[in-house]
Amino acid sequence: MHRITGYIEKDLETGLYVAVVPGIPGAHTQAETLDELQKNLKEVVELCLEEMDPETKKQLPEFVGIQQVEVAG
């Protein structure tokens, strides 16, 4: 069993929620609701993991946290 962390943003242009999993190529999706996004993200991550060889799966990055910074501009 893998615990995978996705990064989620709301696209202001489309109004859709967008998720990406850093470290897993192709692991990204979008949806109109957060519930739908979670379902879609789980599905796409499962598909990506099915395509990975066992050695690559062992090298998936470990989620540490998210850091926000304030910058002028």
Tokens of 42: 């789980």
Supply the range of the domain harboring residue 17.
Answer: 7-58
Q: CA-to-CA distance for 12 and 34, rounded, in angstroms?
A: 15
Q: Cα 3–8–9 angle (5° rounding)?
A: 175
Q: How many domains, in total, are found in the chain? A: 1
Q: What is the pTM of this model?
A: 0.83
Cα–Cα distance between 9 and 32 in angstroms, integer? Answer: 12
Answer yes or no: is 71 within a domain. no
Residue 17 included in any domain: yes
We report the CATH number of the domain holding residue 51 as: 3.30.160.250
Reported confidence tier of residue 48, pLDDT bands at 50, 70, 90: very high
Nearest to 18 by CA among 49, 46, 44, 52: 44
Q: In this predicted structure, what is the pLDDT of residue 45?
A: 97
In a domain, 65, yes or no: no
What is the pLDDT confidence band of residue 2, given thresholds at 50, 70 and 90? confident
